[in-house]
Amino acid sequence: MSIRNSPRRSGAVSKQQGSNVSQTSKTVLILGASSAVAEATARLYAAEGARLLLVGRKAEQLEVIAADLKVRGAAVADIALCDLGNVTPASVAENVAVWTERLGGVIDDILIAYGVLGEQSRAETDLADAAAVMQVNFTSAALWCLAVAGQLEQQRAGTLVVLGSVAGDRGRQSNYLYGATKAGLDKLVQGIAHRLSKVGARAVIVKPGPIDTPMTAGMKKGGPMWSTPQAVAAIVRRAADRGGVTVYAPKRWKFIMLIIRFLPDAIFHRSSL
């Protein structure tokens, strides 16, 4: 599959321009940059003067986000167009190489923040629909994780942060297909973290609870179980710099999911979670 990268924007750093940008500026690649959490995280990086490359499908939306990030202090806010969930192994490898070059040959932080919620009831009977959810949430995301892990291993530095979900901690009738894809991603990132620990790079899976975003527009919201994109973004940003392999967002979900995971089946199966 052919994936089109946008031409180099005027704010991007070329070899000739590189001396005009602080060499201490962090380079950040964001896959799924138009998601609410990704945009909120990008704003935190922008305030630090980072050089950002935003990847997604919708050029107009990405351009608006990039312009806003420049106003907020980003040294560079560039875009690349890609349907991240519909890729081949070859296209993934090619694009990671191209994007790394556009960021100057080294990527400090990579955030993978795209996905689809899907509709559990439809996916249970429509296998094509189920396959589409799995392709976007796990198969494609796993390829991006492996490709950027190779880059970080070569650099012997940098951090991969992947947005997972507490839904992956235990299969529940309301969203077990979505949860299964996030569970698979969780184990993949854990393995990558183990691999990268030998060379000084890191990988982190951040597991939010429900977030008030367009993705959850059809759900009843409110109450202590819900978070905002800004609150989760702050946790994502901290996780890129320090902490363990698995980070719950917010932290209370670690204890909530601990209880849910260890509920006996006889009790759990009487619930409607």
User: So which residues are the catalytic ones?
Assistant: 178
Residue 85 backbone phi and psi in degrees, to 5? -85, -5
Q: How many helices (H) and strands (E) does the chain have?
A: 10, 7
How many C-alpha atoms does 209 have within 13 Å on its Cβ side?
A: 18
Alpha-carbon gap, residue 143 to 184, rounded angstroms: 13
SS3 264: coil
> How far is residue 139's CA from residue 132's CA, in Å, rounded to a whole number?
10
Tokens of 2: 């052919």
**Cβ proximity of 167 and 179 under 8 Å:** yes
Q: Edge-to-edge strands of the sheet including 246-249?
A: 76-81, 51-56, 27-31, 109-112, 159-163, 202-208, 246-249
- Residue 5: Cβ-neighbour burial (10 angstroms; 0-12, 13-18, 19+): middle
Q: State both tokens at 272.
A: 């409607």
C-beta neighbour count of 251 within 10 angstroms = 9
Angle at 245 between CA 258 and CA 103, to 5 degrees: 140
CA distances from 93 to 47, 79, 124, 186, 239 (A): 30, 18, 33, 21, 25
Instruction: Supply the DSSP string of 239-262, one letter for each residue.
Output: HHHSS-SEEEESTHHHHHHHHHHH
